[in-house]
């Protein structure tokens, strides 16, 4: 029998691919094999670019008429998983991840209070004044720097008001105001804003309320459930939980409906050439319009992209968020209680304390606790404060939050060192202020460290008084 195949058999069998040379093989070998693997843990996608099956598919995806990944500056499968997970934890409708919390706030402010939102055609004309932000005056120093300096370069103005006084927020509103910005748990004192009251004001005046939920996390509070339109995070902190990388996130809660007031939000409701001569609302709906503006324009153009490696670290951290935050809260509450009775301490601030001005809001909105950050005032001069910090051994003198390790900082010298005198006064930050970011060590070991350092302050006071008596 002949072993020569028939012509039809030869034609039906595709030709074997040509052998590639070593330089080609070391890049492409093995990539065409689809393994029948079903990993329990989602894989890490480490790629800057994404292949298209055809030019037509590339064209449609880049034109934003077809969903898909184009380049990792605006999207990556690992980052997308993180976005979906954070949105779910916050009870939101979608999210955009960024390289840091500072980047997240920057993109939110630019999207809502930039020049494009002040012009009828939704385009940023140089002759058009930018928008206005009303922000809490008891806020992280880096956020204040961002608004007072860098975003002021873009013409965006800010008015600083008391987070405890909604009447001040209402009085600060102008016809250019587009954003209220507040922290759910304030930095450095743990202040709690009345989020439902601010949300009511924002809705009344057509303003977006954005809540920085970094210190609370969605385990302690979901600002969207209290009326907030946007939530931002420095995921570097408690969402991660180990201090190993930077990340940020912007979450839409579904409360913002630009189509209900289209003249107020032209950047979202007016057709724009950049988005195929359609409006973002018509293309992505009320829930997706703002997030698409942030992702497809601002994130794409300015580039504060979250790496897939950092996204995977945050995903890992989220798996233990509730357990970790419970420990942070319990330890902070116990340390705050003990500090109130220490003779070297004149004032302690934490919403869990019964005499805190925020205790009512804590009871109403934060049934699981109010976080692991607290502050106190040392009853001494600056020399005594320096002695306290120098005597610490378990607490690290470092500026992060949400780490497994406990950290202490002097806000006036570090995190809030560039505040204006007015913001320093409004924020009640003095040379005696100490901020603690309580970690997950044993509470007795932490207290022993604080107590030892505070007794150094008392010894200094006693020595000083003795010296004065001897001189007299």
Question: Tell me, what's the pLDDT at 64?
Answer: 87
Q: What angle do CA 307, 310, 315 make, to 5 degrees?
A: 125
Q: Which of 201, 78, 185 is nearest to 134 (CA)?
A: 201
Give the chain as a 3 state SS string: CCCCCCHHHHHHCCCCCCCCCHHHHHHHCCCCCCCCCCCCCCCCCCCCECCCCCHHHHHHHHCCCCCCCCECCCCCHHHHHHHHHHHHHCCCCEEEEECCHHHHHHHHHHHHHCHHHHCCCCCCCCCCCCCEEEEECCCCHHHHHHHHHHHHHHCCEEEEECCCCHHHHHHHCCCCEEEEEEECECCCCCCECCHHHHHHHHHHHCCEEEEECCCCHHHHCCHHHHCCCEEEEECCCCCCCCCCCCCEEEEECCCCCHHHCHHHCHHHHCCEHHHCCECHHHHHHHHHHHHHHHHHHHHHHHCCCCCHHHHHHHHHHHCCHHHHHHHHHHHHHHHHHHHCCCCCEEEEECCCCCCCCCHHHHHHHCCCCCCCEEEEEECCCHHHHHHHHHHCCCCEECCCCCCCCCEEECCCCCCCCCCCHHHHHHCCCCCCEEEEECCCCCHHHHHHHHHHHHHHHHHHHHHHHHHHHHHC
Q: Would the pTM count as exceeding 0.85?
A: yes
Distance CA 20, CA 163 (A): 66
Query: Could you list the pLDDT tens digit for every one of the 472 residues in the chain?
Result: 444 444 444 445 566 667 788 888 777 877 777 777 788 888 999 999 999 999 999 999 998 889 999 999 999 999 999 999 999 999 999 999 999 999 999 999 999 999 999 999 999 999 999 999 999 999 999 999 999 999 999 999 999 999 999 999 999 999 999 999 999 999 999 999 999 999 999 999 999 999 999 999 999 999 999 999 999 999 999 999 999 999 999 999 999 999 999 999 999 999 999 999 999 999 999 999 999 999 999 999 999 999 999 999 999 999 999 999 999 999 999 999 999 999 999 999 999 999 999 999 999 999 999 999 999 999 999 999 999 999 999 999 999 999 999 999 999 999 999 999 999 999 999 999 999 999 999 999 999 999 999 999 998 776 655 554 444 4
**CA proximity to 230, closest of 397, 105, 138, 391:** 105
Map out the domains of the chain with their CATH numbers: 55-317 (3.40.640.10), 321-471 (3.90.1150.10)
User: By C-alpha distance, which of 464, 328, 453, 439 is closest to 378?
Assistant: 453
- Measured CA to CA, the distance from residue 207 to residue 128 in angstroms comes to 19
Tokens 């922000």: give the residue: 135
């Amino acid at each position: 029998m002949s072993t020569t195949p028939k012509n039809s058999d030869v034609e039906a069998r595709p030709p074997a691919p040509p052998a590639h040379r070593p330089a080609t093989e070391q890049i492409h070998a093995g990539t065409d094999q689809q393994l029948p693997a079903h990993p329990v843990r989602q894989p890490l996608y480490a790629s800057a670019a994404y292949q298209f099956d055809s030019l037509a598919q590339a064209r449609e995806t880049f034109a934003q008429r077809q969903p898909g990944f184009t380049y990792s500056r605006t999207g990556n499968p690992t980052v997308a998983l993180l976005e979906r997970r954070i949105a779910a934890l916050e009870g939101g409708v979608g999210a955009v991840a960024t390289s840091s919390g500072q980047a997240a706030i920057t993109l939110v402010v630019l999207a809502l209070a930039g020049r494009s939102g002040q012009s009828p055609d939704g385009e940023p004309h140089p002759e058009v004044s930018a928008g206005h932000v009303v922000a809490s005056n008891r806020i992280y120093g880096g956020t204040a720097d961002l608004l007072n300096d860098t975003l002021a370069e873009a013409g965006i103005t800010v008015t600083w008001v008391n987070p405890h006084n909604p009447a001040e927020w209402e009085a600060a509103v102008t016809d250019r105001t587009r954003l209220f910005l507040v922290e759910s748990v304030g930095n450095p004192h743990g202040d709690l804003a009345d989020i439902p009251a601010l949300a009511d004001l924002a809705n009344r005046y057509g303003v977006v309320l954005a809540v920085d939920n970094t210190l609370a996390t969605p385990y302690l509070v979901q600002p969207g459930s209290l009326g907030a339109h946007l939530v931002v995070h420095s995921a570097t902190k408690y969402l991660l939980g180990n201090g190993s990388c930077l990340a940020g996130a912007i979450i839409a809660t579904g409360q913002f409906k630009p189509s209900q007031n289209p003249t107020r939000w032209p950047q979202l409701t007016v057709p724009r050439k950049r988005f195929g001569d359609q409006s973002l609302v018509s293309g992505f709906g009320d829930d997706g319009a703002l997030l698409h503006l942030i992702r497809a324009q601002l994130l794409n153009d300015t580039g504060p992209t979250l790496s897939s490696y950092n996204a995977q670290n945050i995903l890992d951290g989220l798996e233990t968020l509730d357990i970790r935050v419970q420990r942070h809260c319990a330890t902070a509450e116990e340390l705050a209680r003990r500090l109130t009775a220490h003779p070297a301490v004149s004032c302690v601030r934490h919403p869990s304390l019964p005499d805190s001005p925020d205790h009512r809001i804590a009871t109403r909105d934060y049934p699981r606790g109010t976080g692991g950050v607290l502050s106190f005032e040392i009853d001494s001069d600056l020399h005594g404060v320096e002695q306290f910090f120098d005597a610490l051994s378990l607490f690290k003198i470092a500026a992060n939050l949400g780490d497994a390790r406990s950290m202490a900082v002097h806000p006036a010298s570090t995190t809030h060192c560039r505040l204006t005198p007015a913001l320093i006064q409004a924020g009640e930050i003095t040379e005696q202020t100490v901020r603690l970011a309580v970690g997950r060590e044993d509470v007795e070991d932490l207290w022993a460290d604080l107590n030892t350092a505070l007794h150094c302050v008392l010894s200094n006071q006693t020595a000083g008084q003795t010296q004065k008596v001897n001189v007299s």
